[in-house]
Amino acid sequence: MGDFQQERAATKARIRRRGIYLLPNLFTTASLFAGFYSIVQAMNQRFKEQDAAARDVIAELLVVSDTDTSARIDIELLSSEERSITSVVLAQWLRDKFFAQHCAMFHQRPFIWHIWDGLKDGFSVLVNYHKLDRKNLETLIYSYLGDWITRQRQEVASGIDGAQDRLAAAEQLKKRLELIQEGEAPYDIFVRWKPLEKQPVGWDPDINDGVRLNIRPFLSVPDVGKKGAGVLREKPRIHWEKDRGKDVQSAPWYPLFKGDRINDHHLTLDEKNTARGGTRSGTGREQP
């Protein structure tokens, strides 16, 4: 009997040791999967706001994907109370921790952006920046966020607690996203290696210009939460100060910056439109 108890205690200890190592790796796996899942959803022009699929799919992944016996024991420990408890934990992680961990994992150049309105029970969406073009930003603002605003107005009319605060936060988020969509300074994208006539007008990012430059409008609009984070859940450690080295004399902004590689610069829509020969503000279309 003593040998059996000793063997049982040793088995439990091995499981505990494995669990300490496994749990962070499960969340790393979940982080990678959340990114992949968001990409798939964004490719289909679907966002996280209207369903809980992301957390539920990740919860299912944690339960069924690992074939290692002791790992499955640890997963069962996570979900032994009820699967819904795991789903709640994952939902909290997606809401509060995922974006910061994603930024750290990708060296402060995130490609999944967590946009929110500043309320934990408010509007929140994970978007794939690689697919967030002008059309998809418009869809986000006027379809997904628009539907949320409509629902909050209905809940305000029904006297549901918290609906007025959610409505106000969502309407403020809509105004901030419209500032990004329009792209007037200082909510514009400036690319120092492009001449004035090639600068993006409104939200029209070139993926090849990189996350650092394209994410700036989302961090520049008035904060909904953390200082300097704009409409994002966290503030990536990104700066737009002068880069090292000197530009060649043929660089488009050499005369203005005297060869310094300046990124902290803004251009008005009028300046861009004039350089393009008279296009409509924020649309890139010709004036009538």
Same domain, 272 and 185: yes
Same domain, 171 and 206: yes
pLDDT classification of 86: cutoffs 50, 70, 90: low
Same domain, 163 and 238: yes
Same domain, 92 and 169: no
Q: What does the alpha-carbon distance between residue 248 and residue 239 come to, in Å, rounded to a whole number?
A: 23
Same domain, 189 and 90: no
pLDDT per residue as tens digits for the range 236-275: 999 888 999 999 999 999 999 999 999 999 999 999 999 9
Judge whether 36 lies within some domain. yes
Q: What does the alpha-carbon distance between residue 209 and residue 74 come to, in Å, rounded to a whole number?
A: 43
- pLDDT exceeds 60 at position 118: yes
Q: Who has greater pLDDT, 10 or 204?
A: 204
Per the structure, how many domains does the chain have? 2
pLDDT, averaged across the chain: 79
- pLDDT of the residue at 13: 52
Query: What's the token pair of residue 120?
Result: 């934990």
Same domain, 123 and 210: yes
Q: What is the mean pLDDT of residues 4-13?
A: 56
Using alpha carbons, select from 232, 215, 225 the residue that is nearest to residue 126.
232
- pLDDT of the residue at 125: 92
pLDDT classification of 11: cutoffs 50, 70, 90: low
Q: Helix or strand or coil: residue 246?
A: strand
- pLDDT of the residue at 94: 84
Cβ partners under 8 Å of residue 141, min gap 6: 174, 177, 178, 181
The burial class, CB within 10 Å (0-12 / 13-18 / 19+), for 114 is: buried
Judge whether 223 lies within some domain. yes
What is the dihedral angle through the alpha carbons of 45, 46, 47, 51, rounded to the nearest 10 degrees? 170
Which residues are paired to 232 by β-bridges?
A: 115
pLDDT per residue as tens digits for the range 171-228: 999 999 999 999 999 999 999 999 999 999 999 999 999 999 999 999 999 999 999 9
Same domain, 84 and 144: no
- pLDDT of the residue at 5: 59
- pLDDT of the residue at 123: 96
Q: What does the alpha-carbon distance between residue 25 and residue 34 come to, in Å, rounded to a whole number?
A: 14
Structural domain that includes position 51: 1-96
- To the nearest 5 percent, what fractions of the chain are helix, strand and coil? 55, 5, 40
- Report how far apart the first and last C-alpha atoms of the chain are (Å, whole number): 92
Cβ partners under 8 Å of residue 251, min gap 6: 192, 193, 259
